[in-house]
């Protein structure tokens, strides 16, 4: 990125992956939308760069990308998912291979459906728990950094994660164990 502003370039290099991950996750795993959201987020930062409080840049970037992705997802919520089926690559596939492939795809559908249900219900139950879980476990942001991004102390962040896990175990324990066994 050649903007002539070395400080901005350093911030861009440091946070571009974090912003892209946040946009990807909150947009409903849409990579193209996440790229656009990332570009828009950094454009907003660049336009107002001189007025920004430099100590809060990471939180601002994350929050801006998250909100833009949530808005994108709301606007495009009627998009249907289409599965991409790969060919087996064999001239004469055996019945056993087709059956195994079918079972694997069904299992993966069950896992994805359960994951969507858990995160959807968690978002409804407590958006802060949802955000903490996404940051810590899905985006793999270090917990100290995630707590800072959310504007809470590390102890509060740990409490949110603990409560979210307990709620998930209580509400989805049986279903989760069933899908794990398959």
What residue segments make up the domains of the chain, in order of their start? 6-75, 98-181
Distance in angstroms (rounded) separating the CA atoms of residues 121 and 126:
9
pLDDT above 90 for 155: yes
Whether 101 contacts 132, CB under 8 Å? no
What are the φ and ψ backbone dihedral angles of 130, each rounded to 5 degrees? -55, -50
> What is the pTM (predicted TM-score) of this model?
0.53
Per-position b or e across 5-40, b if 16+ CB within 10 A of its CB = eeebeebbeebbebbbbbbbbbbbebeebbebbbee
Residue 84: its pLDDT value, please? 46
Taking domain 6-75, whether its CATH number is 2.60.40 is answered by: no
Q: What pLDDT, on a 0 to 100 scale, did the predictor assign at position 51?
A: 80
Fold of 98-181: Arc Repressor Mutant, subunit A (1.10.10)
List pLDDT tens digits, range 48-82.
888 877 778 888 898 899 999 988 988 887 544 44
């Amino acid at each position: 990125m050649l903007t002539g502003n070395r400080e901005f370039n350093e911030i861009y290099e440091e946070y571009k992956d974090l912003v892209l991950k946040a946009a990807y996750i909150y947009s409903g795993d849409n990579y193209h939308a996440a790229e656009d959201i990332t570009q828009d987020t950094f454009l907003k930062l660049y336009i107002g760069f001189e007025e920004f409080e430099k100590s809060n840049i990471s939180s601002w970037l994350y929050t801006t990308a998250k909100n833009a992705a949530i808005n994108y997802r709301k606007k495009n919520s009627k998009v249907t998912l289409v599965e991409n089926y790969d060919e087996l690559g064999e001239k004469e596939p055996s019945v056993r291979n087709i059956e195994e492939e079918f079972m694997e795809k069904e299992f993966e559908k069950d896992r994805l459906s359960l994951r969507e249900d858990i995160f959807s219900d968690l978002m409804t139950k407590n958006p802060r728990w949802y955000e903490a879980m996404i940051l810590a476990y899905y985006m793999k942001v270090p917990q100290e950094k995630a707590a800072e991004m959310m504007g809470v102390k590390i102890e509060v962040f740990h409490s949110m994660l603990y409560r979210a896990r307990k709620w998930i175990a209580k509400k989805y324990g049986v279903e989760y164990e069933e899908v794990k066994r398959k």
